[in-house]
Amino acid sequence: MTDIIAKYFPNLTIEQHKQFDALYELYMDWNSKINVISRKDIENLYEHHILHSLSIAKFINFKRDTNVLDFGTGGGFPGIPLAIMFPDANFKMIDGTGKKIKVVNEVAEAIGLENVLAQHKRGEEEKGKFDFIVSRAVMPLPDLMKIVKKNIAKDEHNALANGVIVLKGGNLTEEVKPFHKIAEISELSQWFDEEWFKEKYLIYIPG
């Protein structure tokens, strides 16, 4: 199952391999109780959810002590895969659905992730400051930016300026229009060969 992860991230530690391996059984089990991933899509967990989340790790290498907010994490994406990939960075994961946050906490605990804090909270209620806000297709970009602008920290620690990194698909012309002068759009197909990644994008907007 994790071959697809190792294919693109060959330098994983034994611990990281174990953690990625464990995700399948954990999400299969939790998904049977709480629908965090579409029932039809759970078989594609590694390609459509874990590897998709890790496209952010192809775009940026979070430095030690980087603080990341996963906005609208759902069942833990992109936050859980990123927290495995960057054990020295800190991930706060929020979602407005309490049941989903329960899954995130249980999964993080089961695989021994100590760099994750998951809270049942709406984005408007989050007062913390973060180097990066990450998100997977939670809402239109202009709406997201209005909510999270307040959460972008001033002090910078990474090669990239602090800001927002979102994963989206389809036609982004209208969404990106308000940010066309500053947005950086990357096609995921430049990093991953699989057909599914065509017309999928990473958008980075500096804060």
How far apart CA 55 and CA 135 sit, in angstroms, is 12
Q: Which residues lie closer than 8 Å to 201 by C-beta, 6 or more apart?
A: 167, 168, 169, 172, 185, 186, 187, 188
Domain extents for the chain? 3-206
35: amino acid identity, one letter: N
pLDDT tens, 192-202? 999 999 999 99
Each residue's pLDDT tens digit, 121-177 = 999 999 999 999 999 988 999 999 999 999 999 999 999 999 999 999 999 999 999
Cα–Cα distance, 89 to 122 (Å, whole number): 22
Beta carbons within 8 Å of 199's beta carbon, 6+ residues apart: 169, 170
**CA 103 from chain center: how many Å?**
15
| Dist. CA 113–CA 124, nearest whole Å | 26
The pTM score is: 0.97
CATH class as words, domain 3-206: alpha beta
End-to-end CA distance of the chain: 37
Q: Could you give the CA distance from residue 194 to residue 110 in angstroms, rounded to a whole number?
A: 30
